Amino acid sequence: MIKEDEGSRHRLLIVSNRLPITIERRKGNLRLRRSVGGLATGLGAFYQSYNSMWIGWCGVSSEKISGEEKNSVRRELITDWDSHPIFLSRKDIRMYYHGFSNRTIWPLFHYFTHYTVYNKDFWSSYKEVNKLFCDEIVKIAKPDDIIWIHDYHLMYLPMCLREKLPNAKIGFFLHIPFPSFEIFRLIPWRKEVLKGILGADLIGFHIYDYVRHFLSSVRRLLGYEYVLNTITVGNRIVKVDAFPMGIDYMRFADSANNEAVKKETDRMRKRVKDQKIILSVDRLDYTKGLPQRLKAFDHFLDTYPEYKNKVTLIMVAVPSRTGVETYIQLKKEVDEMVGRINGKHGTFGWLPIWYLYRFLSYSSLASLYNLADVALVTPLRDGMNLIAKEYIASKTNGRGVLILSEMAGSVKELCEALVVNPNDKQEVSQALFEALKMSEIEQVTCNKTMQKRLKRYNVTQWANDFIDGLYKTKKLQQNLFSRHLSKKIEEDIIVDYRRSTKRLLLLDYDGTLIPFFTRPEKAEPDKEILCLLKTLTEDRRNKVVIISGRDRKTLDKWFGNLNISLSAEHGVWIKEDSKWNMIEPLRNNWKEEIRSVLELYVDRTPGSFLEEKEYSLVWHYRKADPELTSIRVGELRDDLEHLITNLDICVMEGNKVIEIKNVGVNKARPALYWLSKLRWDFILSIGDDLTDEDIFDILPEHAYSIKVGYGVSKAKFNLGSYLKVRKLIKKIGAAQ
């Protein structure tokens, strides 16, 4: 958690599409005022408590502001409001904001695929605006700054920043749902969106369902595996977690004592008299389920006519994207439904629905919370929904009932509410009846439980929790990076290599000297690696050994013309002085019994295949569906453990492979063979796989051991990729 003294040292840069400041032109002059609602309200209390700078679009197109006015606005925002403006053109606003953000991402991530527009120009503009944000941030960011990026408008930004500021502390939080893989994959630029988000160190979502969906998409589309919500991306560890956003709890809990709220509540109470009030507050958006909510209320009045003249639905619809055709049609539909229901059920002196199509001030909203007997919050899909939390926080007397959609993220925390399916008008109608009949004791019991939870995990706690998680992630990265092969260690290796006269180089092949391929036979050595190996072998002081899981025929074909010692099938065979020998006699008659089981798994797992070597069987699943293989791997292990009990064979997991081989056969065996040959004064071992850990484990203290990739390893150092291995070998070869 950020403490006061810590917050003063480490500045927090909050980055969002919009600043928490609204710029207006009045009588020809530009005026600035604090915005209400959305992220501005949610983070307002936290943002003002720390050494912060908010970066975002200033809300008006750059064409409407002269160059002199821009400079004036920028100075005032930085000096008086701790904000840094981004100026966007009309085209940017049309293409990036109204286009890709709100016609592609918004509908798709809320599962409204029929509203989604896939436009390449929208995507191009989205990337360009994200790069514009990046350029502005780079101008003002300092090394110790925390950069916290918010929401779906800026998903490409983390990667842009990572390229410019590789060591920056970057967090990203998505305030809307992250959809399932089957929905997300519909975006033509899906991989680029994921890579953009993965530029962050910590990625936050409201609930774990969205975390799970994101991780699934990352695995399926980019092939990155994850352990405990941690993804290894290049030489970085990226953490993904759920942080349910809280509210400024005391602001709403104390609202009943606010004089303006009191007056407004009293005024409204006189108007509604003894009516039971059902409150509905939303932006006018198709994700909020307003037509479905109206149908449910209509059904309620049909089913329970005794509540006519006794209950009123106050429906507040805040205008949203008024120029978009979809929203224009939605407003028309809601307007007509309200009129129809009022005409059908209304009487002289009683209007079933009070429909308010406008923005409400804090005092008006808080008075409605205090007044309402029931809050009807039934979105079709919502990332969190803070209205539900604000309503519960406002009920200091404990009286009031929350009816909440099971599709809202907040339902995970507000499980004591009456939870409904927003598409089931019978269920919503029944919930309204139960809410109006619920005893005061039951209301108080449920609300007090939810209030304790909301008070404890308020917006400040939420923000501190996220930033604390970001610090922990950076610390984890630093711990792993401390083993990274630095220039100093590389220089030490070169110096020791030059001084030595008896050198042993133990090298893995796949993933170490060459990248992985979907088909093993395609991983043939290229000219560069053959040239590098030849250079090493021409020095008589060097013994170069390739210890691989490959079969001996393949290794002979690829390296037979070089003066290299070889080990095939993870140590079954050793080749020295042009002759292959087995380390010890082995049998392979067990393969007949195991092959049929592996063939069954090949049939059940599209994209996988079986490779047969002389003394092992290998099931490859690199091309198969990652979600399916995560299940199949466990099933196969269970089946094999039952079969191999008395066969003196074992199961070894590698990189996207499972290999069945004789017990005791591993890469340490051939490594020990060559280690025992001489008193080597220089030893270097490089590998990327779990199978190479056996070699790292038996090396003498003075040996250099390097794991390709990042993660837990017995190796002393890490290198990011096979390309960096090649660079190191090239430097070693040149150091004669």
Q: Annotated active-site positions, please? A: 508
CA 418 to CA 426: how far, in whole Å?
14
CA 510 to CA 525: how far, in whole Å?
10
Q: What does the block give as tokens for 225?
A: 């595996």
| Max Cα–Cα distance, the chain, nearest Å | 106
DSSP E strands in 585-648: the ranges are: 609-612, 616-620
Question: Which residues make beta-bridge pairs with 226?
Answer: 231
Q: What does the block give as tokens for 485?
A: 């092969």
**Residue 48 CB burial class (10 angstroms; 0-12, 13-18, ≥19):** exposed
R_g (Cα) of the chain, nearest Å: 32
Question: Within a 10 A sphere around the Cβ of 63, how many other Cβ atoms?
Answer: 11
Kindly list the distances between the CA atom of residue 186 and the CA atoms of 106, 152, 701, in Å, as whole numbers in the listed order: 13, 16, 52
Half-sphere exposure of 527 (CA within 13 A, CB side): 0
Angle, helix 190-197 to helix 157-164, in steps of 10 degrees: 50
Q: In what order do the strands lie in the sheet with 230-233?
A: 83-88, 52-61, 12-18, 146-150, 169-173, 202-205, 236-242, 230-233, 226-227
DSSP E strands in 273-372: the ranges are: 276-283, 311-318, 353-356
Question: Within a 10 A sphere around the Cβ of 454, how many other Cβ atoms?
Answer: 22
Kindly list the distances between the CA atom of residue 207 and the CA atoms of 178, 309, 578, in Å, as whole numbers in the listed order: 10, 40, 60
Q: What does the block give as tokens for 720?
A: 């990011």
Question: Within a 10 A sphere around the Cβ of 340, how many other Cβ atoms?
Answer: 12
